[in-house]
Amino acid sequence: MVKQAYLTLTKLLSFGLIVTLTVCIGIWIDTRSTGHIMNEEINWTSLSFTCVEEQNPPVDSDADKWFKEARAIQKGERPGSNAYMLDLYEKAAEKKHYKALNNLANIYGYGSAGKRDEHRAIDLIEQGMALEVPACYYTMGHFLDQGIGVKQDKIAALPYLRKAADMGNRYGQYVIGEKLLSNFRLSPDKDKILPVGIKMLECSLGQGYSKAGIELGYYFSSRDHHKERGLIYLQKAGALGDTNALFSLHIAFKDGTKGATRNSQLAECYLRLSEEVDKDKTKTFPDIDTLCPLPPRPTE
Rounded Cα distance between 79 and 50, Å, is 43
- Write out pLDDT tens, residues 53-108: 999 999 999 999 999 999 999 999 999 999 999 999 999 999 999 999 999 999 99
Neighbours of 65 (CB within 10 A): 15
Q: Specify the higher pLDDT residue, 287 or 38.
A: 287
What's the pLDDT score for residue 39?
Answer: 30
Long-range contacts of 254-257 (CB under 8 A, 24+ apart): 257/221
Residue 30 has pLDDT above 50, yes or no: no
| pLDDT, mean of residues 204-215 | 98
Rg of the chain taking only CA atoms, in angstroms: 21
| pLDDT, mean of residues 182-189 | 86
Rounded Cα distance between 29 and 9, Å, is 9
Neighbours of 255 (CB within 10 A): 11
Number of Cα atoms under 13 Å in the Cβ half of residue 155: 17
Question: What integer best gives the mean pLDDT of the chain?
Answer: 85
The values of phi and psi at residue 32, to 5°, are 65, -80
Instruction: For residue 12, name the pLDDT band (cuts at 50, 70, 90).
Output: very low
Rounded Cα distance between 192 and 222, Å, is 19
Identity of residue 77: E
What's the pLDDT score for residue 28?
Answer: 27
DSSP the chain: -HHHHHHHHHHHGGG---SS--SEEEEEEEETTEEEEEEEE--GGG--------------HHHHHHHHHHHHHHTTSS---HHHHHHHHHHHHHTT-HHHHHHHHHHHHHTTTS---HHHHHHHHHHHHHTT-HHHHHHHHHHHHHTSSS---HHHHHHHHHHHHHTT-HHHHHHHHHHHHHH-TT-TTHHHHHHHHHHHHHHHHHTT-HHHHHHHHHHHHTSSS-THHHHHHHHHHHHTT-HHHHHHHHHHHHHT-TTPPP-HHHHHHHHHHHHHHHH-TT---TTHHHHSPPPPPPP-
- Write out pLDDT tens, residues 108-142: 999 988 889 999 999 999 999 999 999 999 999 99
Residue 10 has pLDDT above 60, yes or no: no
Contacts of 58 (CB under 8 A, 6+ apart): none
Identity of residue 276: E
Nearest to 291, CA basis, from 273, 274, 275 = 273
What's the pLDDT score for residue 298?
Answer: 62
| pLDDT, mean of residues 198-223 | 95
